[in-house]
Structure 1
Amino acid sequence: MPKRGKKHTRSRYDLIAPLYNVMEWPIEQLLFKSWRKELWEKITGPQVLEIGVGTGKNIPYYPEGIELTGIDLSPGMLKRAKELLADRQKNRTTLKEMDAQQMDFSDNIFDEVVATFVFCSVPDPILGLKEALRVTKPGGKLHLLEHMRADHSALAFIMDKLDSPIHFLSGVHIARRTVSNVKKAGWDIKNVCDLTSGGIVKRIDARKPH
């Protein structure tokens, strides 16, 4: 399977940015919206990093009393998020264009890191998760909401076959082994919750070892 880097991913997301919210509206309303809300209700910070802020779908759920930095690789997606942020008047939120695989932050500065449906598209997910670990304080938390390779072997086989063409078209991988990737990056996994049958969507909570 050919490897495609961040330029490919950025170009795909820049291309679909104007239509992204419309494309995902049905599944967002049926499922993702409630999962996002539940995740952010547990975030206390005070220093929080959101990786892959996208068009800003999590902005309505940012809790009060935290200082949040959001990053995204795609300027097209980030433009939409900044427009939403201005409407919401979240004064303690900063959005930056940045590669999750090479973040321009010092070590050990965030209390919590959040990403929702992001590590399916980071070109090197383990590198991105290692970067997240680096910028998190010892004992700090990682909260992921991710779709990934199915637990059921027959469906997983199909997803493996479709992964490369879907990634070429959209920039998204559908067969990532994200739980394993989190472990390989050095995080201490505390909880994995299946949100759909077959384990395609999971909530992952992890902590940076002291």
Structure 2
Amino acid sequence: MSVISKYDRFSHVYDLMETPMELMRYGSWRKEVFSGLEGRVLEVGVGTGKNIPYYPEDCEVIGIDISAKMLSHAKKRAAGKKNISLFVMDAEHLGFIDGCFDHVITTFVLCSIPDPVAALREMRRVCKPEGTVINLEHMRSSDRKIAFVEDLLNPVTRSLTGVNINRETVGNIRRAGLNIIEEKKLALKDVFRLIRSKP
């Protein structure tokens, strides 16, 4: 089953599935990521629009997602917000000119994109040279015990939801040609991290 099909299938219960983590951790992390943002922002993998309430009103936000059904929920959250536009689009093939965004953002997205390096290269391409790529993600831990469990469970999570819990995301960011300027460990030692980089 394709990534689109899986997210279309889960779109109506996606927010419910993530409610515990949203209440315990995600909400506070989102506040940290989006506070102080300004300019033109691209959110890759906007999903059901959970980040929409956190954007400052003076940001011009474009959100894209590969799943039209996920995006239908995001459109409800964006109703009445003139600074937010939403489009169905593939992260690996962004339909924007080079260097047109001040910030490019993902939150818990790089785990499910089929070719994350290709998507990150596209993010680097559309980000202004002085701009920032911001990735709030979960990934494979450097702790061997945690990584062992992630590797063990990954076939199950990938099969059921399309999510890979053992992606080498820091390495993928570097392979895409981005220069990491901040790597902040958030939870489960270093499974959850906030990474900021420059083109």
Aligning the two structures, in what range does the TM-score lie when normalised by the shorter sequence?
A: over 0.9
Shift in Å at residue 64 of structure 1? 1.7
Shift in Å at residue 159 of structure 1? 1.0
2:53 to 46, 57, 60: 60
Structure 2 Cα separation of the partners of residues 117 and 188 of structure 1: 20
Q: Which residue of 2 aligns with 1:3?
A: none
2:145 to 132, 154, 160: 154
Structure 2 Cα separation of the partners of residues 107 and 191 of structure 1: 24
One-letter amino acid of the structure 2 residue matched with residue 73 of structure 1: I
| Residues 106-160 of structure 1 deviation map (CA, whole Å, 9 limit, x = unaligned) | 1111111011000011110000000001111112101110001122102202211
SS, match of residue 199 in structure 1:
coil
SS, match of residue 175 in structure 1:
coil
Q: CA RMSD in A?
A: 1.0
Report whether the alignment pairs 1:51 with 2:31.
no
Q: Which residue of 1 aligns with 2:110?
A: 119
1:109 to 97, 100, 103: 100
State the aligned residue count: 199
One-letter amino acid of the structure 2 residue matched with residue 157 of structure 1: F
1:77 to 70, 73, 76: 70
Q: Which consecutive residues of structure 1, in runs of 5 or more, have no partner in the other structure?
A: 1-6
Q: How does 1:1-210 map to 2 (within 5 A)?
A: 8-44=2-38, 46-86=39-79, 89-208=80-199
Structure 2 Cα separation of the partners of residues 14 and 183 of structure 1: 31
Stretches of 4+ moved more than 4 A in 1?
none
Structure 1 Cα separation of the partners of residues 134 and 118 of structure 2: 17
**More moved, 149-158 vs 93-102:** 149-158
SS, match of residue 114 in structure 1:
strand
- TM-score, normalising length: structure 1: 0.92
- Give 1 or 2: higher helix fraction: 1
Structure 2 Cα separation of the partners of residues 191 and 79 of structure 1: 33
Structure 2 Cα separation of the partners of residues 197 and 72 of structure 1: 28
Q: Which consecutive residues of structure 2, in runs of 5 or more, have no partner in the other structure?
A: none
